[in-house]
């Protein structure tokens, strides 16, 4: 029996068959350009505005713009740090006046987030434009009402000119601020060796990584972690057993108890894990998912093998040069600490 198992998971693992199996289960490679992104969004019935490089460049400034926060020190990049896997590396997000997220929710990665079918842990938004508005206005996060955000950006002539050039007569509006940020976030795609494997390069993944992918499929992980983002959709949580850190925070999902399945892309860079950031070890997170969602016991060795595959999802990050932001004027509202 041991020789058969060994053959199955190493010597006899057929890369071409594994690629076909993965794709048949809904795992598809990342799109290579904005046209490809739009095709996926249309397939998911997600609305989007026309992409332009000018919008993305403006959105990049706004993504790093701390004056969009009431305190003047928090930007989108604070909780979704592009140098830290698009997250912040802490269990629960920290916002205005060092406020811990009241529901003790962990900041999800911004990389590849355009391809999520749902935004926020409870899926209350379906587009990045909707999502971008939330943290700006939320009191425990950036704490800036829409009217104040518009007032701040409108006080800076460089921004006013850019908005007029891109958005015409509508100029600086809260909708346009969010739209520009979303256009920048559309550029944060991170292709990995896994994508090359799905495209047919049988050598893109090592044999050990292929074993991990096969185990990932056979254990049933792909039931929730599927699609282009290996997640990003709404799923029931605690299907088989109670999550062992369920008492940390009061988050219970949406009105139907559904929770957004996190993307597994760049998962090795985005600890801690789960909605409340209670687990710091990738191997432990894999074992916990086996118990909580699948009702099975995943051994340490199996978790290590699956983790080897998951690390192949660490992708190449786009080069982002920190923008120079316009200087404040006498009309710019002062920070409120």
Feature table: binding site for heme c = 76, 79-80, 96, 221, 224-225, 289
Which of 230, 254, 209, 202 lies closest to 14 in space, CA to CA? 202
Is 69 strand, coil or helix?
coil
Structure tokens at 140: 């425990």
State how far the Cα of 271 lies from the Cα of 254, in Å rounded to an integer: 23
What is the end-to-end Cα distance of the chain in Å, rounded? Answer: 67
Torsional class of 172: left (φ above 0), alpha (ψ -120 to 50), beta (otherwise): beta
Mention every residue, 6+ apart, whose C-beta is less than 8 A from residue 9.
211, 214, 215
In the set 65, 141, 209, 288, the catalytic residue is 141
State how far the Cα of 92 lies from the Cα of 49, in Å rounded to an integer: 31
Which of 289, 275, 225 lies closest to 246 in space, CA to CA? 275
Q: Which residue has the tokens 């988050």?
A: 251
Binding-site entries: 76, 79-80, 96, 221, 224-225, 289
State how far the Cα of 253 lies from the Cα of 106, in Å rounded to an integer: 13
Which of 76, 137, 138, 140 lies closest to 111 in space, CA to CA? 76
* Per-residue b or e along 219-246, where b marks 16 or more CB atoms closer than 10 Å to that residue's CB: bebbebbbbbbbbbbbbebeeeeebebb
Q: Is 151 a catalytic residue?
A: no
Residues marked active site are found at: 141
């Amino acid at each position: 029996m041991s020789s058969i198992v060994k053959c199955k998971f190493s010597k006899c693992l057929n890369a071409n068959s594994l690629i076909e199996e993965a794709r048949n289960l809904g795992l598809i490679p990342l799109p290579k350009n904005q046209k490809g992104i739009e095709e996926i969004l249309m397939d998911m019935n997600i609305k989007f505005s026309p992409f332009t490089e000018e919008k993305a460049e403006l959105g990049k400034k706004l993504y790093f713009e701390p004056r969009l926060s009431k305190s003047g020190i928090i930007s989108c990049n604070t909780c979704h740090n592009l140098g830290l896997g698009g997250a912040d590396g802490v269990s629960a997000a920290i916002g205005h006046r060092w406020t811990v997220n009241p529901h003790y929710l962990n900041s999800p990665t911004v990389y590849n987030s355009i391809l999520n079918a749902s935004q926020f842990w409870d899926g209350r938004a379906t587009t990045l434009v909707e999502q971008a508005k939330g943290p700006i206005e939320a009191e425990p996060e950036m704490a800036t009402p829409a009217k104040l955000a518009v007032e701040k950006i409108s006080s800076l002539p460089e921004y006013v000119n850019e908005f007029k050039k891109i958005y015409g007569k509508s100029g600086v509006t809260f909708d346009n601020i969010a739209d520009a940020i979303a256009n920048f976030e559309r550029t944060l795609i991170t292709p990995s060796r896994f994508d090359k494997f799905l495209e047919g390069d049988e050598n893109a993944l090592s044999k050990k990584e292929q074993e991990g992918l096969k185990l990932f499929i056979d254990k049933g992980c792909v039931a929730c972690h599927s699609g282009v983002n290996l997640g990003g959709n709404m799923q029931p949580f605690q299907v088989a057993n109670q999550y062992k850190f369920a008492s940390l925070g009061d988050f219970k999902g949406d009105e139907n108890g559904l929770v957004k399945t996190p993307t597994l892309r760049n998962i090795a860079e985005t600890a801690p894990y789960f909605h409340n950031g209670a687990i710091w070890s990738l191997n432990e997170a894999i074992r916990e998912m086996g118990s909580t969602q699948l009702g099975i016991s995943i051994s340490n060795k199996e978790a290590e093998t699956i983790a080897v595959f998951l690390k192949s999802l660490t992708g190449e990050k786009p080069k982002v040069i920190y923008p120079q932001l316009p200087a404040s004027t006498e009309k710019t509202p002062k920070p409120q600490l």
